[in-house]
Amino acid sequence: MQYVLNGIYSGKTAVSIITWLLGSVLLACTTIFALIFALDNRSDFFRQIGMALVVVCGCYLISCIAQYGWFLNGPAGISLPGGLFLIVLWMIIINLYPDIFLNTPSVEYRNGQS
């Protein structure tokens, strides 16, 4: 980020770095939010996490497009945004199997047996 502020990186590279940094900060905030509120059993928990991950994917994709162009290749090289596919796969897993992420005590624990 210091290179962007000092003017060493400018133009497409600066936009790419800023949007990538924004996506990384949002991903860190989403992770912290998920860890803090995971035990609250909020009804909209998975929807909020999913929406945040969509925004993170958008930031990363905009970063790649800003640097490499619409088809993700150009004079700067080729971009293969594999991390985006992993985030999308994680969103699909969260939406298809939300029960494995809920923290519900087992039957033995609720009955006082350990």
Decide if 108 is inside a domain.
no
| pLDDT tens digit sequence for 11-69 | 888 888 899 999 999 999 999 998 888 777 777 888 888 899 999 999 999 999 988 88
Q: Are 63 and 43 in contact (CB under 8 A)?
A: no
Q: Which residues does residue 78 pair with via DSSP β-bridges, in sequence order?
A: 73
DSSP state at residue 73: E
Radius of gyration over alpha carbons of the chain, in Å?
Answer: 19
Decide if 114 is inside a domain.
no
Predicted TM-score (pTM) of the model is: 0.75
**What is the number of structural domains in the chain?**
1
In terms of Cα–Cα distance, which of 22, 9, 12, 3 is closest to 60?
A: 22
Q: Which domain holds residue 80?
A: 2-101
Q: Are 34 and 86 in contact (CB under 8 A)?
A: no
